[in-house]
């Protein structure tokens, strides 16, 4: 993940958390123990619902689960409940709203730590060289995916892994040779094809 992507995802999670906090801060409990809005919150609820899918993805992107083990009080059936996707029905399941905030806060903490590392890494030229190398290795599989093939299945197959290794080797050799020629050229050596081909024929 690049610095700018991590920063964007962090901002999305923070905005979502603020919206959820604002929504539930304007609710209260009635005499039946049910949560009720103190004013019209339909527009705010719509905005929250629109952001739920991306928020779940942003949490999973850094390995943060947003699910809890849940046992139905009547039937005793165990299962998992996504507290973000089921944000507005947590009360009926007797899951504390604080659980959702806990997961969001943990996600924000992970992104904060990741961004601090990525901020330093973005100035490291070797990071961009490695990123470019990985991008080139994956280019053939992206082309297969664009052509309609199952690029993931091809890449994970034995033939795909072998082809990826060979392609990576070729790119690595080309990179090394290009680097050596650049160094030789900077030292005053002639590195044009007319200069290199005779040398290759002699060796």
pLDDT over threshold 60, residue 194: no
Non-local (6+) Cβ contacts of 65 within 8 A are 59, 103
The pTM of the full predicted model, rounded to 2 decimals, is 0.64
How far is 135 from 146, CA to CA, in rounded Å?
15
User: Which residue has better confidence, 123 or 68?
Assistant: 68
Non-local (6+) Cβ contacts of 182 within 8 A are none
pLDDT of residue 40: 92
pLDDT of residue 1: 77
The two structure tokens encoding residue 88? 């507005």
**Domain chopping of the chain, boundaries:** 3-121, 125-202
- Confidence band for 10, pLDDT divided at 50, 70 and 90: very high
pLDDT tens for 62-113 read 999 999 987 766 665 677 899 999 999 998 888 899 999 999 999 999 999 9
């Amino acid at each position: 993940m690049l610095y700018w992507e991590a920063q964007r995802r962090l901002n999305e999670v923070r905005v979502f958390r603020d919206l959820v906090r604002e929504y539930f801060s304007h609710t209260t409990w009635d005499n039946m123990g049910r949560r009720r809005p103190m004013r019209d919150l339909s527009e705010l609820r719509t905005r929250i619902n629109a952001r739920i899918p991306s928020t779940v993805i942003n949490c999973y992107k850094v390995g943060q689960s947003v699910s809890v083990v849940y046992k139905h009080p009547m039937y005793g059936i165990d299962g998992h409940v996504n507290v973000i996707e089921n944000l507005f029905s947590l009360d009926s399941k007797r899951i504390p709203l604080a659980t959702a905030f806990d997961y969001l806060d943990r996600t924000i903490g992970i992104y904060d730590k990741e961004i601090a590392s990525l901020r330093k890494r973005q100035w490291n030229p070797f990071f961009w060289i490695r990123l470019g190398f990985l991008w080139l290795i994956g280019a053939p599989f992206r082309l297969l995916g664009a052509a309609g093939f199952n690029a993931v299945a091809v890449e994970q197959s034995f033939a795909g892994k072998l082809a990826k290794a060979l392609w990576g080797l070729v790119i690595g050799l080309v990179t090394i040779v290009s680097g050596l020629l650049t160094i030789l050229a900077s030292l005053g050596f002639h590195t044009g094809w007319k200069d290199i081909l005779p040398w290759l024929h002699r060796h």
